[in-house]
Amino acid sequence: MHDLGFLGDLVIIFGVSVLVVLLLHRLRLPTITGFLLSGMLLGPHGLGLVPNVGRIEILAEAGVILLLFTIGVEFSLDVVKRHWWTALSGALLPILAWGAAGAAAGRLMGYTAGQGVFFGCLIAISSTVIPLKALAERGQVDAPHGRAVTGIAVFQDLLVIPIMLLTPYLAPGAAPVADVTAPLLAFGQAALAVAAILFVALKGVPRLLAVLTALRSREVFIISIFLVCLGIAWLTSQIGLSLALGAFLAGLVVSESEYGHQALADIMPFRDSLTSLFFVATGMLLDPRVLIERPAAVLALTAVVLLLKPIVIGGLLLVTRKTPSVAVQSGIALAQIGEFSLVLMRFGADKDLLPGQTTQLFLAAAVLTMTVTPLILAALPRALPAIQAFEAKGWWLAPKGTRDEVGEALADHVIIVGYGFNGTNLARVLAEIGIPYVVLELNSQAVRQARLKGESIVYGDVSSIEVLERVGAERARAMVMAISDPASTRRAVAVARSRFPGLHVVVRTRYLAEVDELYRLGAQVVIPEEVETSMEIFSQVLECYGVPRGTLIKHARRIRAERYGLFREGRPAAETRDVSVTRGDLSGLHDAISAAEVKLCVIPPGALSAGRTLEDIGLAGTGATVLAVLKQDRVVTQPPPRTALREKDGVVLIGSPEQVGVAVEALTRSEA
């Protein structure tokens, strides 16, 4: 009989983790915290339901390997080019600062300098998952602070690799810091080995994947990705380097091939599952007694992290001439101890770099910072007006080359907010037509480059009254919000309408859910990208079936005039059916037109529907809508209920998949 104890452990772990994560999700706390708490409950220091932690740690190690592999696949040199200075100041410098502070504090507390440096590095590394998830939920990934957080988080993840390589030389008994020969020699050997592995892998792996993908077997492709990941990780371990470094190199190799995106999509479910086990296994190391026996030490360390990390990161961003609001939001978003700190902790614990109760103190503080940071981020918008009021006074260091005023006094002009893809195209069109405009942008590099091209552009935050006055909002005809920051957009619309009521405000937003709020704040026109894209796709599909373009345009205008009410819940069914084609075609849809299914059903020989009318067949009762009937000699659009069907006629249906399925069954049913 096989030993099924390991399987039982996994059942217990996943069962308890699901319950804990669901509970924390209702409290809007991060998933990682749930896994850590689950491990604390299940481990030997908790209820002891999973006494054999070693078996779980094997799978947890695989989770770390896949985590580093996906970081390598997602890594892009383009990210380095666009964010290298922000990343250098916000990622490397804080790690160096915390390492130096840790060395000094370690000496005072009786630890070695290496132990202090290592502990400082653990604190310096922030989470990637927690801030990026919070930014994504708020639609702020493309906002100025979102870009800063992304760049810093990605570079911190990459810096984990050299820290891992340095860790053996920080351990007690290792070569002294003054003797740099051994570390430099080791780094040189490691660099040569890494270069050799990368050279061979970059030549061979793409060819191997090309051969395997030609088989058109998803299973073989997934196995080949695992082979590349684990194989290169194993090779690096054989030459004395870490498995994690090998996994990252494997990710880099795959990212340089044309199969990187598919590999990432296929590997993600495995990574997430095994990484969750890593956090559970890490939580099993946490002894809850430390919270009872040493609460002051735990709270003090947590407070130091939550207070000093935003100050260090935000201060460095201010020095690099980011705005105060960007610096504050970025610093708070990165205030917690990160998941890679837990990876490093377990890596350094084996080398006696976390003596005594230090591991327990660090784990407890990590869990608390991960739990508290999302709550602080949720409350941060309330403090932004005060930060922006300070920002408007101009006491901070503005980026060089962005203080110049607009060259001429503008009137009857357009204010374009954001110089991204949409803003750039709008500016180009306005320039060709001869309509005056001025651009507002918070990306200092974009401002400098645009000014070199002679662009009328100003560095500033649109939600500031002083900035709007500076670009002549009282004399402007329209303001177009072309940025991807919902919070800033809402504030800007409210400020513009309250102080400049004659300004025609046009807003671009990604999501339909933002429409009502933006109209309430005073926007005259709101364009939700997800709906407009879906409407165009839908129109193109219906045009293929012979529905006149003019009819589609007419109903699209009606939908926009009614502020996209068709796509939201709570609309009366009778009202939905009153509008022909577009509104009737989309009955049953709520939030997105893309959920509809359009299907062509050909009446087969012997079908009961042949020789009967649409009304007789009872298609109205299915919920699906008939867009057109395709006959041999003509196309009948918006067919009346008395339209008769014949064998081989085509009926174009639209509705939910269930509604269309019922209608197709009614049309194709035969006597047999």
Whether the CB-CB separation of 21 and 31 falls below 8 Å is answered with yes
- What residues pair up with 613 in beta bridges, in sequence order? 644
> Is the pLDDT at 70 greater than 90, yes or no?
no
How many Å apart are CA 289 and CA 286, to the nearest integer? 9
Over residues 25-35, the mean pLDDT reads: 78
- The three-point CA angle 399-400-402 to 5° equals 75
Q: Return the pLDDT at 302.
A: 93
- pTM, to two decimals: 0.60
Over residues 230-250, the mean pLDDT reads: 79
pLDDT tens string 113-148: 888 899 999 999 998 777 877 776 666 766 778 878
How many Å apart are CA 71 and CA 160, to the nearest integer? 11
> Is the pLDDT at 155 greater than 50, yes or no?
yes
For residue 41, which of 9, 16, 5 has the smallest C-alpha distance? 16
* Residues forming CATH 1.20.1530.20 domain(s) in the chain: 60-381
* Residues forming CATH 3.40.50.720 domain(s) in the chain: 414-523
Whether the CB-CB separation of 472 and 413 falls below 8 Å is answered with yes
How many Å apart are CA 351 and CA 357, to the nearest integer? 15
What is the Cα 381 distance to its own chain's centre?
Answer: 20
Tell me which of 3.40.50.720, 3.10.20.30, 3.20.20.70, 1.10.10.10 is the CATH number of domain 414-523.
3.40.50.720
Instruction: Kindly indicate the confidence band of residue 574, based on its pLDDT and cuts at 50, 70 and 90.
Output: very low
Q: Which one-letter amino acid corresponds to residue 140? A: Q
Whether the CB-CB separation of 512 and 565 falls below 8 Å is answered with no
Whether the CB-CB separation of 482 and 508 falls below 8 Å is answered with yes
Q: What's the whole-number average pLDDT of the chain?
A: 78
Instruction: Kindly indicate the confidence band of residue 577, based on its pLDDT and cuts at 50, 70 and 90.
Output: very low
Whether the CB-CB separation of 455 and 427 falls below 8 Å is answered with yes
> Is the pLDDT at 414 greater than 90, yes or no?
yes
Q: Return the pLDDT at 393.
A: 61
The DSSP annotation for 603-647 comes to PPTTBTTTTSBHHHHTGGGGS-EEEEEE-SS-EEES--TT-B--T
CA distances in angstroms from 670 to 184, 240, 277, 629, listed in the order given: 81, 72, 54, 20
Q: How many helices (H) and strands (E) does the chain have?
A: 29, 10
* Residues forming CATH 3.30.70.1450 domain(s) in the chain: 569-668
Over residues 433-457, the mean pLDDT reads: 84
Q: Return the pLDDT at 409.
A: 62
Instruction: Kindly indicate the confidence band of residue 417, based on its pLDDT and cuts at 50, 70 and 90.
Output: very high
Of residues 623 and 54, the one with the higher pLDDT is 623
Q: Which of 2-11, 268-277, 297-306, 429-438 has the lowest mean pLDDT?
A: 2-11
Choose from 48-62, 268-282, 291-305, 571-585 the range with maximum mean pLDDT.
291-305
Give the largest CA-CA distance in the chain: 95
Share of the chain above pLDDT 70, in %: 80
Over residues 459-487, the mean pLDDT reads: 84
For domain 60-381, give the CATH number: 1.20.1530.20
For domain 569-668, give the CATH number: 3.30.70.1450
Site of tokens 């001025």: 438
Q: Return the pLDDT at 654.
A: 83
Q: Return the pLDDT at 659.
A: 85
How many Å apart are CA 8 and CA 19, to the nearest integer? 17
**Residue 601 three-state SS:** strand
Q: Return the pLDDT at 580.
A: 37
DSSP, res 477 = S
Instruction: Kindly indicate the confidence band of residue 307, based on its pLDDT and cuts at 50, 70 and 90.
Output: very high
Whether the CB-CB separation of 116 and 106 falls below 8 Å is answered with yes
> Is the pLDDT at 387 greater than 80, yes or no?
no
